[in-house]
Structure 1
Amino acid sequence: MRVKDVMTTVVVRISPDNSVRQAARLMFDNRVSGVPVVDDEGNLLGIISEGDLIRRTELYSGANTSQSGTELAADDRAAAYVKRCSWRVGDAMTAGPVTIDEDASVSRAAKMMQDRGIKRIPVVRSGELVGIVSRRDLLQAILSTRVDDTPVDDDAIRRSVTARLGEDTGLEGSDLTVAVSDGVVHLWGKVETPGCRRAARLLAENVHGVRGVVEHFPDPYPQ
């Protein structure tokens, strides 16, 4: 499944010349935590998020939000001041956001969200914003996935399990023997750890057409 199959295409967006107050209103009214910033041609420039807005000086009246010269160089202090105090979205936004191509897999989108700790990713086509894919979109994709009940023969199951053992789990297929009878996978071989045995079993269980898995691994701690 591709990102373009699950992404939201009607995306709230804002211009870099709009005010941060307008950005805050868009987030509040649309119940989103971030808004893509685009130019007149629809090219993605950045994201303005709740995180950017909570750094605003309006929230710290009377508090000293500046950092000392020992913490930031002059240019960095100036940039931080502009980001914190400017009314323009273009100054307050986070530029160069993480993006993903519409033809990327949903598994890649999920990994990017997990690795970077983000909730949504702008989807671009040649730099132009065409959608947003969020954690909610990925959950919806899981819920809407139909279970394929097409019969699969035992030999096809055996080939699939054998091929994926090395690719998906890091276990070498040559260390394991796979046999299938009436959709039940039988696993033999030398598997060193409980974690590796669990991975081999889980992989087999996840192959389409498998009705059950039986392990024939030797006891790693014989009496």
Structure 2
Amino acid sequence: MRVKDAMTTNVIRISPDNSVRQAAKVMLENHISGMPVVDDEGHLLGIISEGDLIRRTELGSGAFTSPGDKASSAEDRASAYVKRSSWRVGDAMTSDPLTIDENAPLRRVAQLMQDRGVKRIPVIRAGELVGIISRADLLQAILMAKQDETAAGDEAIQRSISIRLGESTGLEGLDVKVTVADGIVHLWGNVETQECKRAARIVAESVRGVRGVVEHF
């Protein structure tokens, strides 16, 4: 699946000239934790999220000070002050956010979310915001994913399992043997760790037509 197949296109967005209070109100009313900031032409300028608001001056000085603040440069301290004190969304938002193209594969989204620790990524087409993809959208994609299409029959099952055992399962090079009789899979080989045994069983169970798995490790 591609990003465009799973993204949300009806995106709640906000102008950089709106107030921070308005942004908080919109997020609360729509049960979202962040939203894109766009100009009048629909170009993405940034993201405003809960993470941008938890160090606001409205929450008191203890919410936005840290031991390392005094060691930072004057420019960095000034920037932090503007972000936590300005009433404008454009000043409080995170600028130059991570984005992704609508034709990118979903695995790329999942990897970016994991690596960057983000919950949502704006989707761009020719520089314009066309959607947003979130962790919830990825969960929905799991529900929509096609089921295994392995052909019926013991030989097809055996062939499919053997191929999958070598695809980043941790079992590469262990020479796991597979036999199948009436849909019952038998796994043989020198597999010592419990996690590797578990991985082999899950590989077998993920193939359509498997009625059971017997381990002979």
2:119 maps to which residue?
119
1:201 counterpart SS class: helix
1:179 maps to which residue?
179
| 1:79 aligns to 2:101 (yes or no) | no
1:93 maps to which residue?
93
What pairs up with 1:1-223 in 2 under 5 angstroms?
1-60=1-60, 65=64, 70-145=70-145, 147=147, 152-172=152-172, 175-217=175-217
- Inter-partner Cα distance in structure 1 for 2:209 and 2:104: 27
- Inter-partner Cα distance in structure 2 for 1:207 and 1:51: 42
Distance 1:107 1:212, change over 3 A: farther
Shift in Å, 1:23: 1.5
Shift in Å, 1:10: 0.1
- Inter-partner Cα distance in structure 2 for 1:8 and 1:16: 21
- Inter-partner Cα distance in structure 2 for 1:201 and 1:179: 13
Deviations 1:73-129 (A, max 9, x none): 111111111111222212110122233332333344334334443332222223322
Q: How many residues are aligned here?
A: 216
- Inter-partner Cα distance in structure 1 for 2:6 and 2:46: 22
Report the more deviating stretch, 175-184 or 138-147.
138-147
Distance 1:175 1:20, change over 3 A: same
- Inter-partner Cα distance in structure 2 for 1:148 and 1:178: 18
Deviations 1:137-167 (A, max 9, x none): 2333334556568852322222221122121
- Inter-partner Cα distance in structure 2 for 1:111 and 1:191: 29
Identity of aligned residues (%): 68
- Inter-partner Cα distance in structure 1 for 2:63 and 2:180: 69
- Inter-partner Cα distance in structure 1 for 2:155 and 2:62: 70
Structure 1: stretches of 5+ with no match in the other structure: 218-223
1:138 counterpart SS class: helix
Contact kept in structure 2, 1:163 and 1:173, CA below 8 Å: no
Contact kept in structure 2, 1:99 and 1:122, CA below 8 Å: yes
TM-score normalized by the length of structure 1: 0.82
Report the more deviating stretch, 146-155 or 162-171.
146-155
Contact kept in structure 1, 2:7 and 2:131, CA below 8 Å: yes
Distance 1:114 1:21, change over 3 A: same
Report the more deviating stretch, 51-60 or 98-107.
98-107
- Inter-partner Cα distance in structure 2 for 1:67 and 1:174: 51
